[in-house]
């Protein structure tokens, strides 16, 4: 879920494994290597068929609390939920409940509503939940320098910049 630069990179990484890649974005569109990219309104229907749900959505009013009890109940009992997008997309108590009730198999959480996660937070004791330290994409200085050089050339050519933020859209 989320087909921007990070979602695109994840999809390209997964493509050789012959998995069906369905994306969810603000608007439906054709975007390789996804077999289809659907609009946000299709999320609920897609959750039922997903083996892995990878959230890479930005923090916008439309994406806050999007993964709630109803969303987790729609997922397969064998589904793995991965959140490397924004912590506010997940209702924490609903995720823990889904894990406890075995509505989903497991979860990997890289981002949380509150960071660092307090010692008494419910995620620490949740079954089948792996917490990572908001480290899904460490920044490499050489890559950042190359991005700057590329964007400088794009700017000089009047082209769209990579990683530009559209404040009206929230990402």
Active site residues: 86, 115, 134
Positive or negative torsion for Cα 91, 92, 97, 100: positive
**Contacts from 147-153 at CB under 8 Å and sequence distance 24+?**
none
d(CA 103, CA 74): 9
Q: Which residues pair with 25 in a beta bridge?
A: 39
């Amino acid at each position: 879920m989320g087909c921007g630069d990070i979602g695109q990179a994840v999809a390209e990484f997964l493509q050789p494994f012959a998995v069906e890649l369905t994306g969810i974005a603000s608007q439906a569109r054709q975007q390789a290597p996804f077999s289809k990219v659907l609009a946000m309104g299709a999320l609920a229907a897609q959750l039922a068929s997903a083996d892995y749900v990878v959230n890479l959505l930005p923090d916008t009013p439309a994406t806050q609390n999007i993964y709630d009890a109803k969303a987790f109940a729609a997922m397969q009992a064998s589904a793995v939920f991965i959140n490397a997008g924004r912590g506010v997309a997940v209702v924490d108590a609903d995720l823990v409940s889904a894990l406890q009730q075995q509505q989903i198999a497991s979860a990997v959480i890289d981002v949380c509503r509150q960071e660092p996660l307090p010692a008494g937070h419910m995620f620490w004791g949740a079954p089948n939940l792996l917490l990572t330290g908001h480290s899904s994409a460490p920044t490499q200085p050489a890559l950042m320098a190359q991005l700057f050089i590329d964007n400088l050339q794009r700017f000089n050519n009047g082209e769209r910049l990579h990683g530009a933020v559209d404040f009206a859209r929230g990402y």
